[in-house]
Amino acid sequence: MKKFLINCFERGLAISSFIFPLIEICYYFGAKVFLGSSNVALKIFYLNYIAKLSNFYQANVYLIFIFMVGIFISCSRGTLPLTKFVRFNIIQAILLNIICSCIGSCFLYTPIVIRESTLGILLANSIFLGILSLIMYCSLLIVYGRYPKIPILSEAAKLQVQRGYSD
């Protein structure tokens, strides 16, 4: 029973690390995706829950960034007594967050004519749903105890975890 609880805690910790890219993608693309819909329930869901989360992120962006860098350094060096599985998934989630931040920043710097056109809305929806489905894919594999494989991010996370054992 104790091993089962430890496995559940480790998998829950690994899944909860994907909150960083989820908040990041909701911050950049949430308003365009949810408020651009004609569904009233989605708009109410966005205004009641996701907008508050995005506002908290916007108000504390530097604090969250420092917290995330601290977690990344401690997981890559192996200073926390976590398994390789948890450390790998936490590092992969943080790297996915960095990619989400870069994509969101690039999207904000596109001309407003393109961003507000049908192409911009299609691009925003595709990026939002793509990252969301990637987070769900990773979470599903973590529940089953498997390593999620994302082409470039998995190799980078694997190198960071291995580097922690050589320090």
pLDDT in tens, 59-87: 999 999 999 999 988 888 878 888 889 99
Does 159 have pLDDT greater than 70?
yes
* Cβ neighbours for 3, distance < 8 A, ≥ 6 positions apart: none
How far is 25 from 96, CA to CA, in rounded Å?
10
pLDDT in tens, 89-138: 999 999 999 999 999 999 999 999 999 999 999 999 999 999 999 999 99
Between 162 and 102, the more confident residue is 102
> How high is the pLDDT of residue 163?
73
On average, the pLDDT of the chain sits at: 91
Total residue count of the chain as it appears in this document: 167
Determine contact, residues 104/25, Cβ cutoff 8 Å: yes
Angle made by CA atoms 139, 141, 142, in degrees to the nearest 5: 65
Determine contact, residues 15/142, Cβ cutoff 8 Å: yes
Give the tokens for residue 151. Answer: 């082409």
pTM of the model: 0.91
